[in-house]
Amino acid sequence: MEHEAANAAAWALALEKSGFAAAIRASTWIYPAANVLHVFGIALLFGSIAVFDLRVLGVTWAGKPEEAARLALPLAKLGLVIALPTGFLLFSAEASAYVANPVFQAKFVAIVIAFLNLAIFHAGSFRRIAGWAGRIPATARLAAGISVLAWLTAVVCGRFAAYI
């Protein structure tokens, strides 16, 4: 295990010491702009996912789940397209500290869980969303609950990681 941790720290340190990361830290605008865009991307991503998941859970909006999906999922994809590269920029600037941070590690685990859940949901229940007709399958509700919890955990840990 110590060897794996050393390898993880080595690649993170190499990234952090790269010219790319040095340019991010040296710039007056890159890091703050990436931070703002990352928050915007996360807001689109999590907000859209929350709208859809809460609809599947029956907490919000009486419309059809497929209508919620049609509205929310393109915005979630846009949020992801913004959040991933900006997150990488932010991570690069202090990669070795983030890799060693248990709260950041929890964030990463939550994101992995969220994406695995998403893949399973889209391969299963979501394929039959048009046929739900007022009765949402228990598997879809379970996936929505896992999704909300995983993404909320990722967001909270992402904010806390900056302070721990």
Per-residue pLDDT of 48-63, as tens digits, reads 999 999 999 989 776 7
pLDDT confidence of residue 164 = 80
Helix (H, G, I), strand (E, B) or coil at 103: helix
pLDDT tens digits, residue range 22-47?
A: 999 999 999 999 999 999 999 999 99
**CA 4, CA 162: separation in Å to the nearest integer?**
24
pLDDT confidence of residue 32 = 95
**CA 83, CA 31: separation in Å to the nearest integer?**
14
Structural domain total, the chain: 1
| pLDDT band with cut points at 50, 70 and 90 for residue 8 | low
Q: For the residues 142-158, what does the mean pLDDT come to?
A: 97
User: 6: domain range?
Assistant: 2-161
pLDDT confidence of residue 100 = 92
Q: For the residues 133-154, what does the mean pLDDT come to?
A: 93
53 contact partners, CB below 8 Å, separation of at least 6: 144, 145, 147, 148
H helix runs in the chain, sequence order: 2-16, 19-26, 30-56, 65-93, 95-100, 102-123, 138-161
Q: What is the pTM for the complete model shown?
A: 0.88
pLDDT confidence of residue 107 = 96
**CA 101, CA 90: separation in Å to the nearest integer?**
14
